[in-house]
A and B are shown apart, each in its own frame.
Chain A
Amino acid sequence: MTDFAGQFEKILPEVEKPGRYSGGEWNVPDMTSPARGDMCFCFPDLYEIGMSNLGVQILYETINNAEGFRAERCFAPALDLAAKLREEHIPLLSIETKKPIAEFTVVGFSIGFELLYTNVLYMMDLAGIPFRSADRREQDPIVIAGGPCSVNPSPFAPFFDAVVCGEGEFVDLELLRRVTKAREEGKRRAEILKDIADIEGVYVPSIKDRKVTKAVVRDFENAPYISRPLVPNIESVHDRATLELYRGCASGCRFCQAGFWYRPIRERSADRCRDLALDMLKSTGFGELSLCSLSTSDYTGLEELEQKLRPYCRERGITMALPSLRISSFKPDMAKDSRKSSLTFAPEAGTQRLRNVINKNVSEEEIDKIAVAFEAGYDSIKLYFMMGLPTETDEDIAGIAEICKRLKKLYWEKRGRRGLNISVSCAVFIPKPCTPFQWEKQIDLDEMKRRQLYLRGLLKEIKGVSFSWHGAETSVLEAALARGDERLADVIEDAYRAGACFDGWSEHFKWDVWQAAFEGRGLTFEQFTRERGIDEDLPWDFIDMGVDKKYFLKERERAYEGVVTRSCREGCNGCGALKMGRCTIL
């Protein structure tokens, strides 16, 4: 084994932000004792993005707490470092011990969204790991994937020996144990894959004709969490302690994948949350604590928890942040101790009719309640919308501008004519698997651009409103990959070889490369963004997600009728996820 650490240190001063790669973060466990088996978590994006990923940190700590096992990290190097690594013939190394990625027992990629697929190949390429599971040699590591994209692993399945579908807390360690043991027994790859295929949640693409059941943490209250989060060397996108209050969501917004994928709903008690929060704050020194979930104001113990944490935080000047608030639940004292910079709300659609279609239960009267925030001193509001939602018309888009005008009027009444900033951010709707909209068509590129221009024109006429939107082309690609099948693996590989990389970064996104990659394989985007028939087999049907397909279909019909479905907190709607564990809010 060559020691690359010295060589690597020499090139570090020549790259941008060397703190991304140097390691030595606070709370990195001792790595000097030998390990029976080790796993490198590869995050296919830059350090500052990946260090904010909760999932990776939970799994990292879980494995490092297990006797005899070790977890390390690696993030996608920026292009400047990648060029240097190639020039100096240094393979991709782990951050902690600077060990070549290809020498780990297991290499695990966390894939958060579709535009990271080429970066997975970019990292494998730098690590010298063959792209295809079928091409790997006995000495290559077992390469697995996990994260939110495991909802539909089909497009990237050929690149992995196994995919962890669902929540990895108990899966990754068990998988690492079994692979380690099998290696110690001298088993061959094919046998090793057989050994791990029966762990719940594990999908082994080379073993066909199998149903896979999503992995779910049943006892969320006592599930492992991060007591010693790593403190990033350089500023990361969420540079704070993050506490996950509960998993799942009761709202049932029909476009939202996470809301259905993370069911059943499992809350942690306020006492457990307080203990976890204090552990994290004490062990990191973070000046901000984020109480995080898919809809934080719905957390049963929110007020109790805030009261329990307030004295500790106030004394030390630690601010508490509450992301993902529902408009209707905003109370002025909720954000009392946080800085009054800006509030973010997501009405998602401009008219009541369309909000009913998507089951975003926000009424006009509730939007009016933003006035309470104005009274509490807020001058800046961020609003999130989507365009291209099923049944959307220009009237719905005009409704977005109407909401802005209405908020301006409310602000005038409370605070006077000057000073309000509204920033409207509008994404393009992407039909995702594991939602009632998984059969929907995505509007085509020209139509996206027309609607964006239309909205831009309307918002331009309102003073104090700024508008940002997602690239139409990236939205088409994301939609195609999200509902893609195994044919797309060739396309992804071709696109990577032709220079596609960091597709989620607009400055790196190469639309022409992707177009050529689809064409080259005789495919079109439209084949993947079109409406799917309800009798069609969907590429992700082989995964048991808990929520029944029938339930999704029923919800889809209700969407077309404009009928809303109540929050699960008001009573069980019978989605089917209960069979995977207790829904703690019932």
Chain B
Amino acid sequence: MIALKYSKCEEARFISHIDLLRHISRILLRADIPVRRSNGFNPHALVYFSPPLCLGATSFAEYLTIDTPMAADETMQKFNAAAQKGIRAVKAYQLDKNPNLQARIVAADYIYPYPFRDIDFSHTVISYTKKGEEVSEDASAKILGIQNADGALCVRLATGGVNLRPDRLLKTLEEEYGESASVTDIVKVRQFALEDGEYADVDRLLDKLALLP
């Protein structure tokens, strides 16, 4: 079992999550990475993903777990040789079982194209269109913190089961800064799982779970 940390940027930003699943299976076939397949009526490759990334945003911290007997380094190298522009694995971890990141990831850090400012998000109501209808929602509980990332605004948002799409905060930030920005300017930099009530960077979690080579 190999977990890959990969980035999704440039043209690949515009590939939706559902299409990404197909693209990853194709990368694995092109790379000739052997993947164990499920049993049953419609066998499929056993590949597991981290929660979906908002369409149009860049990410440097997506994760993918592949049920393969291949070694970590070789998997990563072959994956990158077969991956299309904008998708690139940067780290590989050898694991003994599926870390189930889809369920465990609860938060992610996003950098917005604004200079850092200590914004109070405790009463943030966002509005957006959902299925053609205008919806308003108190998003305060899903905004988990802010940081100064080398002068830029970095916001931690709930991700996964409880989720706040990063582009839905754009309107609030536009009002705050008086300047508009696009979803294509948002960058996801880290994802977190909960460990003993603390946010643990998924990289550290995988480091801990990884088998020694």
Contacts and interface: CB of A to CB of B under 8 A. Distances in A.
Nearest to B11: A24
Nearest to B37: A317
Given A239-B22, A285-B27, A13 B183 contact: yes
Contacts of B16: 17, 19, 234
Contacts of A316: 29
Contact of B19 (A233, A282, A285): A233
Contact of A18 (B26, B31, B56, B82): B56
B182 A285 contact: no
A234 B19 contact: yes
Contacts of B184: 9-10, 12-13
B207 interface: no
Contacts of A26: 26, 30, 84
Nearest to A287: B25
A90 to B, nearest CB: 16
B45 to A, nearest CB: 7
B168 interface: no
A339 B30 CA distance: 22
A25 interface: yes
Interface size range on A against B: 20 to 34
A24 B26 contact: no
A561 to B, nearest CB: 49
Contacts of B86: 24
B84 A285 contact: no
Contacts of B41: 339
Contacts of A339: 41-42
A452 to B, nearest CB: 33
Contact of A24 (B10, B31, B44, B56): B10
Contacts of A10: 182, 184
Given A13-B183, A284-B30, A19 B84 contact: no
A19 B15 contact: yes
Interface in B1-52: 10-16, 18-19, 22-23, 25-31, 37, 41-45
Nearest to A20: B14
Contact of B14 (A22, A239, A287, A318): A22
A20 B109 CA distance: 28
A455 to B, nearest CB: 34
Contact of B28 (A12, A283, A285): A285
Nearest to B167: A13
A21 B15 CA distance: 11
Given A18-B56, A285-B27, A287-B29, A13 B182 contact: yes
Given A13-B184, A24-B10, A234-B19, A285 B82 contact: yes
Interface of B: 10-16, 18-19, 22-23, 25-31, 37, 41-45, 55-56, 82, 84-86, 167, 182-184
13 contacts: A9-B184, A13-B55, A13-B56, A19-B14, A21-B14, A23-B11, A24-B86, A26-B26, A282-B30, A283-B30, A285-B30, A285-B31, A286-B26
Given A10-B182, A21-B14, A24-B11, 17 more contacts: A13-B183, A19-B14, A25-B84, A26-B84, A231-B23, A234-B15, A234-B19, A235-B18, A239-B22, A281-B29, A282-B30, A284-B30, A285-B27, A285-B29, A286-B29, A287-B29, A339-B42
The list of the 5 closest CB pairs from A to B, nearest first, reads A24-B11, A285-B26, A285-B29, A285-B30, A22-B14
